[in-house]
Each structure stands twice: as C-alpha cells, then as structure tokens.
Structure 1
Amino acid sequence: MSENIKIKYDSKCFGKGHPSYNGKNDLEFTWYKLMWAAITVGKSGWLDIKTNNWINLAKFKKSMIELFLENKMIKVKGKDINRLYASANYQDLDGSERGSINYFLGIFTAKLFAAKMLNCPWLMHLDAYSKDKGKLEPIFKVTGKSLATTKRPDLIGIIQKQINDSSGKPYIHKGYVAIEAKGRYSRDHDALDNAKKEQLDNLKLINKTSPLKIAIMSYFTITRKEFRVSWQDPDQVNEQYFDIEFSQEEFLYYYYYGVYRLIYESDSTFEVVIEKKIILCSRIDDLVVGLDIDIFSNIHNDNRQDLVNLFYDTDFLEFHETDNYRIKGVLGPDRILVGIFS
C-alpha cells in the first residue's frame, strides 16, 4: 500500500499561474493518500457529521476504493509502474450501480488532485450546512441572478500558498477554488464541457475575488479499464452569474468538526507522534483517523479564528510506523491522519 502509484491525466485551458499543467502527465501518489482523499472529502453538513454517520461514511469510503479499484504493476519502457484499474467487482456492477460509484470516484479524485496539484487540501460541498442556535444554516451564501444559481459547482476549497512580500518576507496567501467533479465508466468528451458551461461559467467571484475554477473527470479506458483523469481550468463567466461568500473561520470549523467529534466521543482515543507533531487518533476497526492536537484544541475551545491563523503543512507526511504504535498511513497537509493498523 505504500508503493507509488501513477495516474495518467491530461490538462487543458490552464492559464496564468498554472500554464505548465497543460498537456499529458502522471500524478504520483500512494494508496494511503488516495484513502486520505476519500475519507476527508464529502458532505460536511450538520446531519452528516454526527459521530455514527461519520464513522459509517469513513468505513464506506475506505471499502469503496478497496472493492472497486485495483493496483497493478505493469512494465512501461522496461520500468515497473503501479497503476489503478477497475476491479472485477466494479466491472460486475450494472450501469446504475456503476453510476453511483463513479460519482464518488470523481469526488475522491478531485480531492487528491486539489491537494497534490493546487495546494488545496480543504474542500467542502457547496450545499454544506452548519448549526447555529439550533437552526441549520448554509455555510455558503450564494447571491446573483436566480437562473444561474440552479446549476452550481460541487465543491468549494481554500488554497494555501507561501509567497514573498515586496521585502522578500514569506507569508501565507489563501485563495479559492471551485470544482465540478465527474466520474464516468468511460471517457465522456462532453462531460467536462457541459460542467464548464452549466456549473463553473455561472460562477464569478468567491469572497469578492476571482477563484480558480476546475472541471475534472475520472474515467476508465475502454479496453484495459485503466483509471485516468482529465481536467481543465475554464476562464469564462456567463451573463447570468452568481457569487459566493463565506467565512473562512466557519468553513474550517465545519471541515474539521466531523473528525473532532469522532475523536472526542471515541472510547479508543490515543496519541501518536509524527515528526514531533502530536496527533489525537481514534480507531475504527483497522482504520485509524487522527487530528493534530492544536486543531483539536481550537475546535474544542471554539477558537475559530485560530484555525485560520495556523500554519498548515504544504505536503503529505507518509509514515510506516509512528513513534509509539504500529500504524502505516499519511498525515495530510490539513493535518488529518488516515492510516491502517499493521
């Protein structure tokens, strides 16, 4: 599970800031990173982050990638390369069953690419809800012409970049991304164009700034059933557009709240140490989910502003054994741990 896997992907329409993405390439990752992407993305509305719901959803997502994706080693120009393929379980499904699995694979892929390629480990569904004074309230406020707001992107994310100011001093800049994710049995050339026209081109601004807009599709090749990805960065705005506004404090609070609540209410909470970082963890069968102790404390004490001010990592920390437990897995750039007891 710790060996590197490569997904072939093709990119187009990436402009200023990401021109090198255009063309064909490989995204390299591990099974643990894919599992992190699957478990940490998804609906984060109040009804979905109750402890039992979150546990069941985490187990479901883990089993989904284990059941329907298969890691195979192949020879490419004399070199051994691991790639993902549709499993026999996936190919035995009927069309409607595959459709629901494809949706989740598309969302998982969007999270993986956003974290690895865009410095965006935080993604939430646009229809996510919080709970304020006993009432459900949308985290995202959508404003604009009503015709446009009926078709909107799936996911909204925060991008973190370390850049230098005019004096050369580094600081953390945070921007925004909107993603429409598609999953298909085979490549659908119209899917990305339709996503661009019907969802992404309707969006103009997020928090009064122009966001990065991504249409991404996962699919299987026709003959070998190899898992691949196509994505693009459209840069147009329809006349019937809408804007999105939200609080970064609220966003991050509810992004982490499900993991926090899982650990807080767990009967099997324990600490692991990874490169001097203390991670509070909970065990779900053989699955381990953890959260950095500083983030846990901020959630517990309702210090929402401190979540925005924390400096997060820019890459994954993969480990094969912690200082005090036999766990293999990955600590994501968002400081959420996903691993397996070995």
Structure 2
Amino acid sequence: MPNLTYLSKNFKSPYTGRNFVGRNTLPVSWGKLMHAAITVGKADATYLNKHGVLSRYERKMRMYMVKVNLIETVATKSTPAQFQHSEVYKSLDPSEKTALSYFMGLTMAKLLASHFLNIPWLQHFDGYATPLKGTRPDLLGMNSKRGFVIMEAKGRTGAATKALMKKAKDQTAVPPFIHSPGGGMHPIIARVASASYANKAGVLAARWEDPEEADLNARSSVIEPLEFLHQYYEPIRTLIDFEAPGTEEKEYEGYTFTTRFFPEVDVTVGLLNKPLEFYLDDSPHSADSAWYITFTRNRRLKGLLNDTSDTGRDLFFGADGVLVALGPSWNSENMQREPSQRDSI
C-alpha cells in the first residue's frame, strides 16, 4: 500500500509523540485517501438546498479526481510505494492544477486530522460558525467530546514554502472558544496549518504545523454540535441517496451500513445506520456511549481503521461511520499504470 511522507512541526502537548516531530511516513490505502476526499469540504445547508442533486455529482467528481490524477509508484527495496501525479494531472493547465491542488490540500487536512488528532468531522468553517471579519481559516473540526480544531488547508503543485505555512498559520488566529446557542462554550483544542505538495517527481507529500499562540480578540463563533453533524453528513446522505434504487444494507462486524455502489469509479460508499445523537452520547449507562472508543476497540475494525489488515486496501471504515469499499480496479498493479492504460478507469 502507498505511503505518505509528512512533516510535523511545533506541535504541543498532548501532540508531542514521534508522529508530531519531524519527517515521518504513514501507510495510506486508496480507500483511506478516498474517504478523506469525499468527506471533507463544503456542507453548507444553503448550498445543498440550492443545488440538490448537483451536490451528489460534486462528491462523485471527487472520486474521479482521486482515481484519474494519481497513480501508485512501484515500491523498491529503499523506497515504499507512494502517491504520484499522473500524466493526466501533468497535462492540465495552471488554473486546473490550482483547483486540484486545493482539493488535495483539503483531503490531506482531513486525513491527518482524523488519523492523528482523533477528529472524525472536519468541514468548512463558514458553513457553521458566525462569519468573522478579516482573515479566517478554511476548516473547523470536532471530536466526540465536542472539542474543536481550527485548520487552514493549502495545496500546491510544487513546494510548501515557509511563507505559505506562515500565511496558513496566520489564518488560524480565531477565538479560543466557540459558543453554543444555549450559552455553553466548547474549547479550541488545536489550531493547525496544513499543506499538501509534490516534489519534483510529482510524489504527493504533506506538512502541518501547530502554530505558536496567536493574539486573540473578543470575536466569537456560534455553533450547535448536532447541527454541525447534520451538515457534515448531509452530503454523504445525498451521495448515497437512501431512497434511490441500488442502495442496500450491509453488515460488517455487527454494524449495519446503508451502501451504494458507483460502477463508474468502482467504489462503494456506506453510512453507519445510527442517529446523530449516537455520535455525541457520552452518558455512562447508554448502549451507545463512548461510540468512538467502542468503534475503534473492535480489533478488526481498528485494523481496517488504521490500514493494517490484509484488506486495508479494499475496505476502509472511517471513525465518522462512513465506509469506503474499493473494487478490483483499484488493485496495486492497475493503479501503478497511467489512467489511459488501466484495465478499468
């Protein structure tokens, strides 16, 4: 399976382990990458209500972007397999590359936040928080304890420079608390600047930094956790389209998912059949309490979650309850070819 090289800098407690210091590599299956690609980004209710079915097409386009613009390099004794830009990507004009680079920047931010920061839900800041004047970050993430992470995501075809990272860090200078409509306050547990980039060979990499403490003013943001989840899952529900022919329920390790197969890209997407309250229920006597811990302690699911099982390439369970299953066209041999040379796109 491909490896992602990433550089971590300036992370503070509790993010001070090896994964948050210096240059490291992370095994990332195509399923895990696809999960990050289709679950991050816009989920504004206004957008969904205005565009309806076009939201589904936008998510499907993300699947195509992953499959067509990236290939898997051949592993050697000294270098593991990695993600590399395809010839299709290299043939794009600069404006198209800029758009795809930003998309990959968002994807890398979601992948890193979910894997290392235990942030299952990451979406555009403007979709949920009271608009702020001046500089603002791209993304707002939430964990199962209602702690929030602010992220600014950048994407570049070439290097992620110090100037780029400084600009990203500056955009994370937002209030230390997010206020609920009911008056409660949820802490910002981290402010992170991230960027995806490619080296001269077109190999995909990432860097992220926990910025130095920024000067804060009295601005505040208003958000309700259940509404946050509703808007996060709405694009996924729209993509699957629960009422459409072709959806089916499948059970994996005791969990039931509503799934839909997309033959054009050989991808199945599923959503865990649980109400939104399930994800935030931390009452001590509830069967659904501490869902994140329960979900990830299942040995098989945890293996798939961390891409360590034999089937990690083909099946990925996100900590947000979104499942991605890849068909045979995503096998290593096929994905090492340029898109025009594959057995199936």
Alignment TM-score > 0.5, same fold = yes
Q: Does 1:289 align with 2:269?
A: yes
AA aligned to 1:17 is P
1:117-170 deviation digits (Å, cap 9, x = unpaired): 111120111122xxxxxxxxxx3235xxx6xx321111101124xxxxxxxxxx
1:301-341 deviation digits (Å, cap 9, x = unpaired): xxx544421513345446888xxxxx942221111112234
Q: Does 1:332 align with 2:318?
A: yes
Q: State the TM-score, normalizing by the size of structure 1.
A: 0.79
- Superposition map of 1:1-342 within 5 A: 4-20=1-17, 21-49=20-48, 52-75=53-76, 78-79=77-78, 81-128=80-127, 139-142=128-131, 149-160=133-144, 173-187=145-159, 188-197=161-170, 199-207=171-179, 208=185, 209-222=187-200, 224-240=201-217, 242-261=219-238, 262-285=240-263, 286-294=266-274, 298=275, 304-309=276-281, 310=288, 311-312=291-292, 313-314=295-296, 315=302, 316-317=304-305, 328-342=314-328
Aligned residues: 295
CA 1:69–1:203 in 2, change beyond 3 Å: closer, same or farther? farther
CA–CA separation in structure 1 for the residues paired with 2:26 and 2:314: 21
Q: Check the 8 A contact 2:72/2:84 in 1, yes or no.
A: yes
1:60-88 deviation digits (Å, cap 9, x = unpaired): 0011011211110232xx35611111111
Q: State the TM-score, normalizing by the size of structure 2.
A: 0.79
Aligned Cα root-mean-square deviation (Å):
2.3
2:147 match: secondary structure:
strand
2:245 match: secondary structure:
coil
CA 1:239–1:115 in 2, change beyond 3 Å: closer, same or farther? closer
From the two aligned structures, give the one with the greater strand fraction.
1
Q: Check the 8 A contact 2:137/2:151 in 1, yes or no.
A: yes
Once the two structures are aligned, what percentage of the paired residues are identical? 28
Partner of 2:331: none
Q: Check the 8 A contact 1:201/1:235 in 2, yes or no.
A: no
CA–CA separation in structure 2 for the residues paired with 1:305 and 1:74: 44
Structure 1: segments with no counterpart, 5+ residues: 129-138, 161-172, 299-303, 322-326
Structure 2: segments with no counterpart, 5+ residues: 180-184, 282-287, 297-301, 329-345
CA–CA separation in structure 1 for the residues paired with 2:153 and 2:208: 9
Q: Check the 8 A contact 1:263/1:290 in 2, yes or no.
A: no
Q: 1:116, CA displacement in angstroms?
A: 0.8
